[in-house]
A and B are shown apart, each in its own frame.
Chain A
Amino acid sequence: MALDKNGIAKRIAQEVQNGFYVNLGIGIPTLVANYVREDIEVEFQSENGVLGMGPFPFEGDEDADIINAGKQTITTLPGASFFDSATSFAMIRGKHVDLTILGAMEVAENGDIANWKIPGKMVKGMGGAMDLVASAENIIVAMMHTNKRGESKILKQCSLPLTGVGCVTKIVTNLAVLEVKNKAFHLLERAPGVSVEDIKKATEGTLVVNGEIPEMNI
């Protein structure tokens, strides 16, 4: 069965290692925080100026001055810090953040990513996504494999305006874990109960399948 958003988040959480500073994008990536192992030390960075983000506050404890990049009220953990936007992006651009997890509308087999604009329809803006993808060396994209009409979002070439070029290395979708290298998607894992055939059908870009493909362990 294909994973739901929480399933994708759960699988991505396995990529988070002890001692990592992690930037989580809006949407599915935000959910990853819920599934990170409790026996490791991780600090979550939010681009609006906080390091050491904690869970949502209890009702009545919300503070309008303490939010995340999704404008949600949050709390901070012991050891947290606040800083200005230029400092926040110094952390990102300067490669001090170890892992970046973000959503995408399309990813291409050369590692291009599009997630900020649908010409003539939706223009929300790139926020910090362009800075993140241009700088981070360890980027995981969390996304659905296909759109609502069943069309692949894992493509030969992006059709939407790009957020960054040649920057995506790993993708976790509702169907599969893919590595992006040598101008192709390399299938690493299948979602439980999803066949290689299912994944092939849902992938427009070049898919490389080498040997037996294990099921995700989640």
Chain B
Amino acid sequence: MINKKVNNVQEALVGVKSGMTLMLGGFGLCGIPENAIAELVNLNVRGLTCISNNAGVDDFGLGLLLQNKQIKKMISSYVGENDEFERQMLSGELEVELTPQGTLAEKCRAAQAGFPAFYTPAGYGTEVAEGKETRAFNGKMYVLEPAFKADFAFVKAWKGDAAGNLVFKGTARNFNPNMCGAATITVVEVEELVEVGELDPNTIHVPGIFVQRIFQGTDYEKRIEQRTVRQKH
């Protein structure tokens, strides 16, 4: 067993520097690496390029880095829930590369899987395809999209072990597995770090080979963005 375990978030983020490109898992606030984000605020690294489907809300998730003006550029598919984000973007303080959600996921997966680029139909004929190579296959047009290149990937899993094997819960899975191994260093925080051997190899979602560092996360808030319920009859 190759041991990936580090003792805490401080050790996990050793080497993170200003100007780096970071991947962060999560969909909205679901499955975001809360501990890593808090530590990025702490480290006060600046000029970051962040690859994340969303940009958090004003006072949580990546919104915390935005408030602190640590982000130079965001690569996201949907940023609708964050007023500060919209303000910085419309004023030109923040560079934003809006990317179709499936393309965003595949750019992560391509980086993980060793593909330099891929063709997708998404965005053909729109401003997303401007300046990009296009090509017809079987009479339909596709856009060439390059894989991402990132320095760190910050991932949140439900359970994991020191070997780096991961299991996710519910829709908190989202982009997290696709970002594992898609950056130079993949850092995973887990709700529950279990003993090696405890996870059934049949049920592991991400094998440890894609993970460089793993640590037991603490104090998860797991904030709900839209609490929707139905009434009991």
Q: Which A residues form the contact surface with B (CB < 8 A)?
A: 46-50, 55-59, 61-74, 82-86, 88-89, 92-93, 112, 116-117, 120, 123-131, 134-135, 161-166
Most buried by A among B172, B176, B231: B172
Q: Does B219 contact A (CB under 8 A)?
A: no
Measured between beta carbons, the chain B residues less than 8 angstroms from A123 are 79, 86, 89-90, 96, 98
Contact B101 A134 (CB under 8 A): no
Contact A93 B121 (CB under 8 A): yes
Measured between beta carbons, the chain A residues less than 8 angstroms from B120 are 93, 131, 134
Q: Which B residues form the contact surface with A (CB < 8 A)?
A: 27-31, 53, 76-81, 86, 89-90, 96, 98, 100-106, 108-109, 120-128, 158, 168-178, 205, 222-232
State which of B30, B80, B90, B175 has its C-beta within 8 Å of the C-beta of A67. B30
Closest CB in chain A relative to B143 CB, distance in Å: 9
In addition to A88-B105, A134-B121, A135-B121, 16 A-B residue pairs with Cβ atoms within 8 Å of each other are: A46-B171, A59-B231, A64-B29, A64-B172, A66-B170, A67-B27, A71-B28, A82-B173, A85-B53, A85-B101, A112-B125, A163-B126, A164-B124, A164-B125, A165-B124, A166-B125
Give the distance in Å from the alpha carbon of A131 to the alpha carbon of B100 in the complex.
6
Measured between beta carbons, the chain B residues less than 8 angstroms from A161 are 126-127
Closest CB in chain A relative to B69 CB, distance in Å: 19
State which of A67, A93, A117, A162 has its C-beta within 8 Å of the C-beta of B171. A67
Measured between beta carbons, the chain A residues less than 8 angstroms from B80 are 124-125
Closest CB in chain A relative to B45 CB, distance in Å: 25
Give the distance in Å from the alpha carbon of A163 to the alpha carbon of B123 in the complex.
7
Give the distance in Å from the alpha carbon of A117 to the alpha carbon of B109 in the complex.
27
Contact B81 A71 (CB under 8 A): yes
Give the distance in Å from the alpha carbon of A159 to the alpha carbon of B85 in the complex.
25
Give the distance in Å from the alpha carbon of A166 to the alpha carbon of B141 in the complex.
12
Give the distance in Å from the alpha carbon of A125 to the alpha carbon of B79 in the complex.
6
Contact B178 A93 (CB under 8 A): no
Closest CB in chain B relative to A211 CB, distance in Å: 34
Give the distance in Å from the alpha carbon of A80 to the alpha carbon of B134 in the complex.
37
State which of B79, B101, B232 has its C-beta within 8 Å of the C-beta of A128. B101
Give the distance in Å from the alpha carbon of A148 to the alpha carbon of B121 in the complex.
33
Measured between beta carbons, the chain B residues less than 8 angstroms from A164 are 124-126
Complex A-B, nearest 5 residue pairs according to Cβ-Cβ distance, in ascending order: A89-B102, A131-B102, A165-B125, A124-B80, A65-B170
Measured between beta carbons, the chain A residues less than 8 angstroms from B90 are 120, 123
Contact A65 B31 (CB under 8 A): yes
Closest CB in chain A relative to B76 CB, distance in Å: 6
Measured between beta carbons, the chain B residues less than 8 angstroms from A125 are 76-80, 98
Give the distance in Å from the alpha carbon of A165 to the alpha carbon of B178 in the complex.
29
Measured between beta carbons, the chain B residues less than 8 angstroms from A59 are 229, 231-232
Contact B171 A66 (CB under 8 A): yes
Contact A65 B122 (CB under 8 A): no
Measured between beta carbons, the chain A residues less than 8 angstroms from B171 are 46, 48-50, 65-68, 82
Contact B172 A127 (CB under 8 A): no
Of the A-B pairs whose beta carbons lie under 8 Å apart in the complex, a sample of 5, sorted by A's number, is: A56-B230, A65-B172, A65-B222, A88-B105, A131-B101
A85 and B78 contact, Cβ closer than 8 Å, known pairs A62-B229, A65-B31, A130-B123: no
State which of A55, A82, A93 has its C-beta within 8 Å of the C-beta of B102. A93
State which of A49, A67, A116 has its C-beta within 8 Å of the C-beta of B225. A67
Give the distance in Å from the alpha carbon of A191 to the alpha carbon of B112 in the complex.
50
Measured between beta carbons, the chain A residues less than 8 angstroms from B78 are 124-127
Contact B174 A85 (CB under 8 A): yes
Give the distance in Å from the alpha carbon of A50 to the alpha carbon of B173 in the complex.
10
State which of A50, A71, A120, A130 has its C-beta within 8 Å of the C-beta of B126. A130
Closest CB in chain B relative to A132 CB, distance in Å: 8
Contact B225 A71 (CB under 8 A): yes
Measured between beta carbons, the chain A residues less than 8 angstroms from B170 are 50, 63, 65-66, 82
